[in-house]
Amino acid sequence: MALPQEIIRRKRDRHSLSRDELYEFACSMGRGELSEGQIAAFAMAVFLNGMSTAETAALTLAMRDSGRVLDWSHLPGPVADKHSTGGVGDNISLILAPVLVACGVHVPMISGRGLGHTGGTLDKLESIPNLSTDIDTLRFMRIVEDVGCAIIAQSNELAPADRAFYSVRDITATVESIPLITASILSKKLAAGLRFLTLDVKYGNGAFMQRQRDAVQLAKSLIRTAAETGLVATALVTDMNQPLASSVGNALEVSAAIDVLTNRRSEKRLREAVIALAAETLVSVGSEQSNADASATAAQVLIDGRAAEIFARMVVAQGGPADLIDRAGDHLASAPVTHVVESQKAGFLSWIDTRALGLELVELGGGRTKAGEPIDHSVGFSDIVPSGTRVEHGMPLFRIHARTKEACLRSQSRLSSAYAYLDRRQICSALIGRRLTAE
C-alpha cells in the first residue's frame, strides 16, 4: 500500500499513477483519512501536470467506489441523466427531466447549488414551498421508481471522495483542472447508477468556460473518460453569451419552467435547448432511431401536457404543493419591489454581459459568495430582451425584482453597461455550437 505522500510525490514529478494508487488515494479521501494539505497538494500536482485519459478514468471509478453505487437494474427501460456545466438563467433540468420520463426514461438526477455567477438547480427547486432536495437514498429511489424522476442534493453516501476533494479544490485555485472536473462530474453520475449521460457544456461570457475551444476540450475529456468507465455519453457545446431564458433568479426561473411545460410562453432558446438535449438522450438510449424523430417525440410530450404532469408529481413526491402548476403565483415568492430598466439608446442589441447579470443576482441576495449562505429566492430579473432585438430609446430591456427600491437603483446603475448596441442587426451565435460523441 503506497503512502499518500508517495502518490503525491509521483504525480508532482510527472509520473503516471496506477489504478491501485488512485483507488487508495480516493478511498482514503472518502473515509476522511487524508489531511486538507495532502488533498490540496495532490490537486495542485494534477492541476500542473495533468492526467491521461486512463488516469482520469481510474480516478473517476475510485471516487465512485468511495461510497455507495445505486443499482437500477430492476427498473423497466433506460436510466439516464443530463449534466450542465452551468450558466445564467439555466433551468433546463426542471423541464428536461419530466420530458424524458414522459418519453419512457428514468432520470435519477443529483444536482448542485449555485456558487458564483451561475445558478444551481437545487436553489431553484427549493424556491418551491416545502419541497425538499435533501432526501435519503431509499426515498430517492422510491420516488424515481414511482414518478420516474427526482432531483436531489448529493448525499454523504454517494461519492464522498468527491465532496472532500471539491471543497479543497474550491479554495486552492485548482477548480479549472479538466481531469479533476471530469472525475468530479462523472464519479457522481456513475455513483447514481447511470448508464447514459447527455452533457451540456457551455461557453461564453455567462459560462464557466469563456471560449468555445475550451468547452470542446472539456467535452472531449468527459466523453473519452465516460467511455473508459462504461458510461455512454454525448455532448452538446452550447452558447451562453446571453441568458438561456428571459428570467434569471430562482423563483422566476421555476415560473419560466412551468410556463414552458404548460405552453404559456415560448422561451425559444430554452425550449430549443430542452428539445435538443432530450433528443440526444433518446437516441443514445435507443428509444428513437433519428434525431428528428426524437425531437418530435420530446416536443409532443410538452405540447400534450404529459411532461407537465410528471413535473407536478415530482414536486408533490418531494414535499411541494399539489397545485403548483395551476397556481404558481400563489406559491412562489415574489419580490416586494420591481423596476423596469429602459434602453438609453436606439439600435440592435449586439451583446449582453451575461456574467454581470449573474453576479448582480448574487448582489441582490439571490446567490452565494460562500457555501451555506441563505439566499432570497424572490429576487432576480425578468422580461430580459434577447440579443439581436431592435430597440428604441426608452423601450424596456429587463425588469429588476428586489427587496427595496434602493437595491433596484443600485442594480440599474451597476448594469448600465450590460448591453452593447449596433446600427445594424448582426447574426447571433447559434445556441448549439458543436455536437460530440465517443470516437
Active site residues: 81-84, 121, 169, 184, 188-189
d(CA 41, CA 388): 47
- Here the cell at position 41 is 497538494
Q: Which amino acid is present at 113?
A: R
Distances (CA, A) of 300 to 147, 181, 296: 19, 35, 6
- Here the cell at position 173 is 485555485
Quote the crossing angle between the two packed helices 212-229 and 53-64, to the nearest 10°. 60
Cα–Cα nearest to 437, from 232, 300, 172, 258: 232
In sequence order, the 6+-apart residues with CB closer than 8 A to the CB of 359 are: 117
How many degrees, rounded to 5, is the angle at CA 11 between CA 6 and CA 17?
85
Beta bridge partners of 435: 236
Locate cell 483507488: which residue?
23
- Here the cell at position 339 is 423596476
| Burial readout 407-423 (b: 16 or more C-beta within 10 A, e: otherwise) | bbebbbeebeebbeeee
d(CA 304, CA 284): 24
